[in-house]
Homo-oligomer: A and B are copies of this chain.
Amino acid sequence: MDQLQKFKDYLSLKGLKNTSQRLVILETFLSSESHYSTEDLYLKLRIEHPKIGYATVHRTLKLFAECGIAAERNFGDGQTRFEPVHGEEHHDHLVCTRCGLIIEFEEPQIEKLQESVAATHQFTIENHRLELYGLCSICTAADL
């Protein structure tokens, strides 16, 4: 099922309304570079849809997160970011502290070790976050 259908299903399930703003925001959100903050997306939308307000963008992003279309991320810069979820494997992030580059990665072995740590403490894991902060290859090179 595609994301648009998933969103519409969620709206009707919850008795919410299918508005033009929500569809425009979804389309823009899905169509490009990930890791949007509310502000990022608001500014991008404003170019073609200057009527859409900041609060609506923010509310809609929260709605995406609620229905599983987006995941909330926080990379410690004081802004919450949202990234599209496409039902793929869970992934984690490398974050360049100099240029802001964000790279996604998957490492099933780490996930397994996390499970074993949780088991040791009789913890039931619901989700996790792993971020590696440092310099990307370009910034590392520039640093020499």
Contacts and interface: CB of A to CB of B under 8 A. Distances in A.
Interface residues on A, range: 20 to 34
B132 A128 contact: yes
A16 interface: no
Interface stretch (A35-43, A51-59, A113-121): A113-121
A125 B117 contact: no
A103 interface: yes
Contact of A134 (B103, B127, B131): B127
Contacts of A137: 121-123
A127 B76 CA distance: 12
A88 interface: no
B118 A94 contact: yes
Contacts of A32: none
A112 B116 CA distance: 16
- Which 5 pairs, one residue from A and one from B, show the smallest C-beta to C-beta distance? A122-B137, A125-B134, A126-B134, A124-B135, A128-B132
Interface of A: 74, 76, 94, 96-97, 103, 105, 107, 109-110, 113-114, 117-118, 120-137, 140
